[in-house]
Structure 1
Amino acid sequence: MPESTKVVEVLPYDDNWKQEFEKIRDMLKSYIGDLIVRIEHVGSTSVEGLSAKPIIDVDVVIESYDVLPQIIEKLELEGYIYEGNLGIEGREAFRRKYDDGMMKYHLYVCPKDGKGYLEHIAFRDYLRNNEDARKEYSRLKKQLAIEYRYDIDNYCDKKTDFIRNILTKTLYKDDIK
């Protein structure tokens, strides 16, 4: 559930994150499964061995924005608030009005060809398949969590160059020729 983080805490990878994602995925499928293409576990908790803030990132993938109004309506009935794209193209954010008993999570609805979704998948898959990059990113996140313990904005901003570098090697590699 998107909310302001008071303290930046990066923890070692936890095998339970996968099961927590599966519980969230199954709950969401019961609400909107008929309107979506798939539900993906993205973000650092989706990469085995990667240190992360203990928050599950979930991308609900849709065919196109045509179904977004129906999804908004159904999720609102289930206690979610639609927050728009929060300044990030290609992903629509939702948060719970109340604690649903799940591990803390960020919920995004993304078109299958949307920039936000494609970047999440490219970055996740690169880290899953590259141990050196995974270790480097873990070190960076741990260091930034110490330096910016009470400043989530700077913590996030200082990761940008690393993330951009990976996306340039993967998703945008043809753009640099």
Structure 2
Amino acid sequence: MNAIAIVRPDETWPAQFDKTARVVRGALGDVAQRVDHIGSTSVPGLAAKDILDLQVTVASEPDLDVAVERMTAIDWDFRTAAQRDHPVPGLPADEREWVKRLVVEPMYRRRVNLHIRVAGRANQRYALLFRDYLRSHPDTAQAYGEFKRRAAMLPFDSVGDYADLKDPVCDLIYLPAEEWAARTNWTI
């Protein structure tokens, strides 16, 4: 069984993102429309696994594979099993809306999950809105952090099992985030 370690928030995570994003931008060049800090380490005060999540936004589906090629050329590892996100209830069911690529850091480097998604797709918006909603709702972020701490204590066969448990909880946060986005005129 894999142990999931949820750590206290680290005020250096934004600086670590900046450093990593420079490497990613340098490798991807113009194929990357944007590079964003996403996930729990992007939310101030939120407990998290000590793994930076970054999202690279590309213009089209063929650019997903171009980005993977460029990242693997600098020794990042492509995770073939993670080529889509879970569909979210109430959002488009079209498989293309959830396509992604995932690469991870070279061995013995700072742990990073680099999610590569297509601009305007549901999964690209989800990551950014989820982050911004938690940043604007610290009580919700704290409740989510407590869930993660408790969930991490459960026995899991893999980190994927932990992620599968979190998905519906994240969706429960995301659905009111859509209402918040409409009220506040939030945009990507």
Q: Name the TM-score, length of structure 1 as normaliser.
A: 0.83
The structure-2 alpha-carbon separation of the partners of 1:170 and 1:90, relative to structure 1 and needing over 3 Å to count, comes to farther
The aligned counterpart of 1:138 is 145
1:164 has 2:160 as partner:
no
- The 5 Å alignment of 1:1-177 reads 6-84=2-80, 85-88=82-85, 89-99=98-108, 101=109, 103-148=110-155, 152-171=159-178
The structure-2 alpha-carbon separation of the partners of 1:133 and 1:20, relative to structure 1 and needing over 3 Å to count, comes to same
The structure-2 alpha-carbon separation of the partners of 1:78 and 1:133, relative to structure 1 and needing over 3 Å to count, comes to same
- Assess if the C-alpha contact under 8 Å between 2:64 and 2:118 holds in 1: no
Count residues with an aligned counterpart: 168
The amino acid of 1:143's aligned partner reads: R
The amino acid of 2:64's aligned partner reads: L
Counterparts of 2:157 and 2:5 in 1: how far apart (Å)?
9
What is the percent sequence identity of the aligned residues? 23
Greater Cα shift, 42-51 or 30-39: 30-39
Counterparts of 1:74 and 1:30 in 2: how far apart (Å)?
10
* Corresponding residue SS for 1:147: coil
* Corresponding residue SS for 2:153: helix
The structure-2 alpha-carbon separation of the partners of 1:33 and 1:161, relative to structure 1 and needing over 3 Å to count, comes to same
> What's the Cα RMSD here?
2.4
Greater Cα shift, 103-112 or 142-151: 142-151
Counterparts of 1:72 and 1:92 in 2: how far apart (Å)?
7
Greater Cα shift, 80-89 or 28-37: 80-89
- Assess if the C-alpha contact under 8 Å between 2:84 and 2:99 holds in 1: no
Counterparts of 1:117 and 1:83 in 2: how far apart (Å)?
18
Counterparts of 1:114 and 1:14 in 2: how far apart (Å)?
30
The structure-2 alpha-carbon separation of the partners of 1:77 and 1:154, relative to structure 1 and needing over 3 Å to count, comes to closer
Offset of residue 150 of structure 1:
6.4
Give unpaired runs (5+ residues) of structure 2: 86-97, 182-188
Counterparts of 1:132 and 1:33 in 2: how far apart (Å)?
38
Counterparts of 1:131 and 1:67 in 2: how far apart (Å)?
35
Give unpaired runs (5+ residues) of structure 1: none
Counterparts of 1:13 and 1:96 in 2: how far apart (Å)?
21
- Assess if the C-alpha contact under 8 Å between 1:119 and 1:171 holds in 2: no
CA offset digits 1:122-174 (Å, max 9, x no partner):
11111000011011111111111223476534433332332111221133789
CA offset digits 1:62-109 (Å, max 9, x no partner):
12223234323322221133334434223211134533x3x2010111
The structure-2 alpha-carbon separation of the partners of 1:148 and 1:156, relative to structure 1 and needing over 3 Å to count, comes to farther
